[in-house]
Chain A
């Protein structure tokens, strides 16, 4: 079974600065890493290949330097990588990103399962996985914590929900997003590192995946980032002074006044 893992290169820290002019991340001087949630997707893909055979293809949309994330995924066991990179893709929101990824999947053709991380460290929306499934008209299961079985063109998985887990079955091909509970990602191997250095990573642009320019990148995006800020804490505490008796009286009075007791 051919498995496709979608991954994103993100800044390796949550302490990033935002350019006030463009409202985008200032990436200079910050080490880039594979989005941590996506490392579980890569690991699960590699484990499925080890169990059922086939191959793992990692794809990523991003600037040319995102190639490093694909090479790292290969050092961790993925078989091949494809970089979706084109100036036309720049500024994409999750919709345009999902559209671009779906076009790449169509070009890839044969695959049994698409695995994404549950969300990214930087955007944090968790939208690309489900949107991708919708655009491909494929079954979708979010927050998968265990793949129990893959057989007869279908799979049975566990997905995390608030107070436990659900067991679901789905035909294949399908799209899933995975949570960190699904596995412990392995470390790279020496042979994997050697292969990751020598392998050729094809770069697909808008032409290669046959997408209309107005549907990708900024022009294909329905959303615009207007402003990024940390929300102000508006809730303020109140400290009652005096001796204990007085403090208790004040507290009780306030609670009664607010109708809480």
Chain B
């Protein structure tokens, strides 16, 4: 399909593919098996300017938007969803700073983020606040010289590996979600430690940890934007980032589709390659249709984000939900096409199936996003009545 990408976008996509094929693909099974954080690949991505993609030009970036990020994430995911998550989370961890940070904050942190010297993470989820992110309990009490942070964040991607964390905490606990604020916390700040590394089903190259704050004092200047805006900033962030999860899903699905076609071409049963069997052809064709439809929706949503439109909740949720459901279906079918071999770890598709699952869960479970889409439908109906 022709997506009318600019030369610059094509360059980003093809370089990301080159990195994925030359540096990620040969080690993905080992990273998955050992749950090893991909530092060598992070270095390759940094050297190739991939962390500059989502940072504005005035801070050492290339000024790309959601679509550019999606192109890179898609290509990395085609080889390994875990490596892609590790990369993409940096855009998540930097977004609030880029959108709402002041000049001083941006000058302090963004050049190192762009250069890939500092990884970032975003922390909102807690044990009792997953899909219901407004239920966070972590506090940031105003004290002399800054904020005192107390609480525990759960399931934080890049936790322990990142140098800079955007943390959503209650600066006014009487106001609930309206009392939440976004605060930058650097690794190594006294009172800020990490829980155990989670053992995951998929995206195992990525690191997921608890962040533990006990009387952690951060300076006042680490507050991003105005106090009380944290929840709104986070919701806006997810509106902008969900196409990225969609891109991850499209990449995983694309990788699975290609692996299934390869296998079907060379696997001989009943005296012929199984790709000549109508039942297999039907499955592969359906997979290809689904992947392309998901890609088209993800790119369209990403372009809408980049247009600066404010009301994008519905479209970005659609892209994430559709693409992640496609990824789950396509990877499951890829395992089916590959049969017994596909079920074995010697072949890549079982990993893709495990990696795909998270895309239906994180950054808003698909059920929650479907209900958000339904809310928009109801609102629109109410407006026309």
Question: Among B12, B23, B52, B62, which residue has its beta carbon within 8 angstroms of that of A187?
Answer: B23
Flag whether B15 is at the interface (Cβ < 8 A): yes
| A193-B62 in contact given A187-B22, A187-B47, A188-B48 (Cβ < 8 Å) | no
Q: How far is the CB of B13 from chain A (nearest CB, A)?
A: 11
Residues of A within 8 A of B89 (CB): none
Residues of B within 8 A of A188 (CB): 15, 18, 48
Residue of B nearest to A192 (CB): B49
A contact face: mostly helix, strand, loop, or mixed: helix
Mark contacts of B45-60 with chain A using CB atoms, 8 A cut-off: 1 yes-contact digit, 0 otherwise: 0011110110000000
Mark contacts of B12-41 with chain A using CB atoms, 8 A cut-off: 1 yes-contact digit, 0 otherwise: 100100110011000000000000000000
Residues of A within 8 A of B22 (CB): 187
Q: Are A187 and B19 in contact (CB under 8 A)?
A: yes
Flag whether B11 is at the interface (Cβ < 8 A): yes
Q: Are A190 and B12 in contact (CB under 8 A)?
A: yes
A188-202: which have CB < 8 Å to B?
188-194
Q: How far is the CB of B164 from chain A (nearest CB, A)?
A: 22
Flag whether A186 is at the interface (Cβ < 8 A): yes
Residues of A within 8 A of B47 (CB): 186-187, 189
Q: Are A190 and B62 in contact (CB under 8 A)?
A: yes
**Bound CA–CA A120/B70 (angstroms):** 40
Residue of A nearest to B22 (CB): A187
Q: Are B11 and A187 in contact (CB under 8 A)?
A: no
Report the count of interface residues on B (CB-CB < 8 A).
16
Q: Are B44 and A191 in contact (CB under 8 A)?
A: no
Count: A-B pairs, CB below 8 Å: 34
Residues of A within 8 A of B49 (CB): 189-192
Q: How far is the CB of B191 from chain A (nearest CB, A)?
A: 38
Q: Are B52 and A191 in contact (CB under 8 A)?
A: yes
Residues of B within 8 A of A194 (CB): 8, 11
**Bound CA–CA A190/B18 (angstroms):** 12
Residues of A within 8 A of B52 (CB): 190-191
Q: How far is the CB of A20 from chain B (nearest CB, A)?
A: 37
Q: How far is the CB of B49 from chain A (nearest CB, A)?
A: 4
Residues of B within 8 A of A186 (CB): 44, 47-48
Pick from A187, A189, A190 the residue with the most CB of B within 10 Å: A190
Residues of A within 8 A of B23 (CB): 187
Q: Are B11 and A193 in contact (CB under 8 A)?
A: yes
B309-361: which have CB < 8 Å to A?
none
**Bound CA–CA A187/B22 (angstroms):** 9
**Bound CA–CA A189/B48 (angstroms):** 4
Question: Among A187, A192, A193, which residue has its beta carbon within 8 angstroms of that of B44?
Answer: A187
Q: Are B44 and A190 in contact (CB under 8 A)?
A: no
A165-198: which have CB < 8 Å to B?
186-194
Q: How far is the CB of A61 from chain B (nearest CB, A)?
A: 28
**Bound CA–CA A125/B223 (angstroms):** 64
Residues of A within 8 A of B11 (CB): 190, 193-194
**Bound CA–CA A94/B50 (angstroms):** 40
Residue of B nearest to A191 (CB): B49
**Bound CA–CA A188/B50 (angstroms):** 11
Ranked 10 nearest A-B pairs via Cβ: A190-B49, A189-B49, A189-B48, A191-B49, A187-B48, A186-B47, A193-B11, A187-B19, A187-B18, A190-B62
What are 21 contact pairs spanning A and B, CB under 8 A? A186-B44, A186-B47, A186-B48, A187-B15, A187-B23, A187-B48, A188-B15, A188-B18, A188-B48, A189-B48, A189-B49, A190-B12, A190-B48, A190-B49, A190-B50, A190-B52, A190-B53, A190-B62, A192-B49, A194-B8, A194-B11
Give 17 A-B pairs besides A190-B62, A191-B52 with Cβ atoms closer than 8 angstroms. Answer: A186-B44, A186-B47, A186-B48, A187-B18, A187-B19, A187-B23, A187-B48, A188-B48, A189-B48, A190-B11, A190-B12, A190-B52, A190-B53, A191-B62, A192-B49, A193-B15, A194-B11
